Chain A
Amino acid sequence: MGLKNFCLKKSLWLFHFAGASCNNCDIEILDVLTPRYDVERFGMQLIGSPRHADIILVSGSINQRDKPRLLEIYNQASKPVFVVAFGACGCTGGIFAEGNTFAGPVDKIIPVDAYIPGCPPKPEAILAGISKLVKTI
């Protein structure tokens, strides 16, 4: 068990799901890959296919059209997979929470392991959130 968890902790691959996002959170996610924050030194990297994902980052408010797609992506990912609700819209719905097409915050749709609040969260906040998630593994 020790070796398995150790390897999982050391190599978390991120898959980025953007709902109806204003793209600000998406740009902040790219910021943690830059030389200043360099998330690859913890073994994390952004990957393209949900089949390889260990963490699904969900940013943006989830509306009626995003909901089935988010569920499908979650079911496609190979388990164990962790879900991180990202930004104010991902955590609670933010300013869209009372909107007509809003389909509930992420944790109403799929189980969420960590929340990173902020509009958008700073790169430091992202690193802090991910490292808290790693400690729970």
Chain B
Amino acid sequence: MAEQLFYFFIYPGLIFAGVIGGLLAWFDRKITAKVQFRKGPPVLQPFYDFLKLLLVKETILPARGSRITFLIAPMFSLIGATLAAVFILLPLMNINIGFQGDLLVIFYLLTMPSLFYVIGAMASGNPLASVGASREIKLIISYELTFLLVFAAIIMKAGMTINLQEIIQMQAGGSAFIGSISGVLLFIAGLFCVQAKLGLVPFDIAEAETELSEGSFIEYSGTAYALIKYTKYIMIFILPALLVGFFMAGFNWEGMGILWSILKLLLVVLLLTLIRNTNPRLKVKQAMRFFLVGMNILVVVAIILTYFGL
């Protein structure tokens, strides 16, 4: 019991994933600043933001709307993200308690934050928030199928094993999945799904700052918004880490492997940041067409290539 609580709260879970995720959120903002020839924020900026929201600011509850749901939704999104972090990071950190079928659990847990953002936005009773929530739902509908197909293709490539630990070990023994043609196609599709899951710019339709003024999060303030920020920090760590586990043979914590592990993670975050900085926001229709037509065809082609062993 104590071991499970330690896993959940401290080492691969809440605190560890949040701290590393905060540093990655700084990396994202710093690279954004460098792309725009600016200097960028200091290293601890995400933690200043989080602590300010948590400790200093007042939490305002909506006058009309379901207050309990409004407050519970960020907690559940944080719990979902933390559980996903535990299941993803335990195999990646070489603590072997993965079980058969943990990929499916990870897939469902990764959906929880987005779903609870929607529930919280609906509970706030703000019209802009409900527009944001409806857009978020449309985005979920469009990218989840592609993300599931990527999972299916990875399971197929790994010889029908539904266990993250075994998938990573298979790549560590032979060659990484990104070395094949189908692996590259799957990596592209997975990267765009992660971009949409994180709500970064081409797919930040739900929290469009210019027309919806933060969309789903418009009514959140103080502690509740701090929990949402923390969830986002955890997500920006675990989703690239999942991609590294799927395509680049995971992490290796021995000797020079430490450097390579960190570089792999930073490379995926760098790609996400560059996509974010070089694209305008899509419309809902365009994003749905992008995933439902373009990316799904890409993944199906990759699955067919996998079948022929390419």
A interface residue numbers (CB < 8 A to B)? 3-4, 6-8, 10-11, 34-35, 38, 40-41, 43, 47-49, 51-52, 54, 76, 78-80
Contacts and interface: CB of A to CB of B under 8 A. Distances in A.
B38 A47 contact: no
B217 A49 contact: yes
List the 3 closest A-B pairs by CB distance, nearest first.
A48-B213, A78-B221, A10-B48
A63 B45 CA distance: 38
Contacts, number: 83
A4 B56 contact: yes
Interface in B192-245: 209-210, 212-214, 217-222, 225
Interface of B: 29, 33, 36-42, 44-45, 48-49, 51-52, 55-60, 209-210, 212-214, 217-222, 225
Given A35-B36, A48-B213, A80 B56 contact: yes
Given A4-B55, A35-B38, A51-B219, A10 B214 contact: no
B25 to A, nearest CB: 13
B210 A48 contact: yes
A35 B213 contact: no
Interface residues of chain B: helix, strand, loop or mixed (majority): loop
Given A10-B52, A38-B39, A41-B40, 10 more contacts: A3-B51, A3-B55, A4-B55, A34-B38, A35-B38, A38-B38, A40-B39, A43-B45, A47-B214, A51-B225
A111 B294 CA distance: 54
B33 A11 contact: no
Nearest to B217: A49
Contact of A41 (B37, B41, B218, B221): B41
A40 B56 contact: no
B127 to A, nearest CB: 13
Given A47-B214, A51-B60, A51-B218, A11 B38 contact: no
B48 A7 contact: yes
A3 to B, nearest CB: 7
A6 B45 CA distance: 12
Contact of B48 (A43, A48, A78): A43
Contacts of A79: 57-58
B39 A41 contact: yes
Contacts of B209: 47-48
Contacts of B48: 6-7, 10-11, 43
Given A48-B213, A49-B214, A43 B42 contact: yes
Contacts of B37: 35
23 contacts: A4-B55, A7-B52, A8-B52, A10-B44, A10-B45, A34-B38, A38-B33, A40-B33, A40-B40, A41-B39, A41-B40, A43-B42, A43-B49, A48-B209, A48-B213, A48-B218, A49-B214, A51-B60, A52-B220, A52-B225, A54-B57, A76-B60, A79-B58
B218 A78 contact: no
Given A3-B51, A4-B55, A78-B58, A52 B214 contact: yes
Contacts of A8: 52, 56
A48 B128 CA distance: 12
A76 B42 CA distance: 30
Nearest to A76: B60
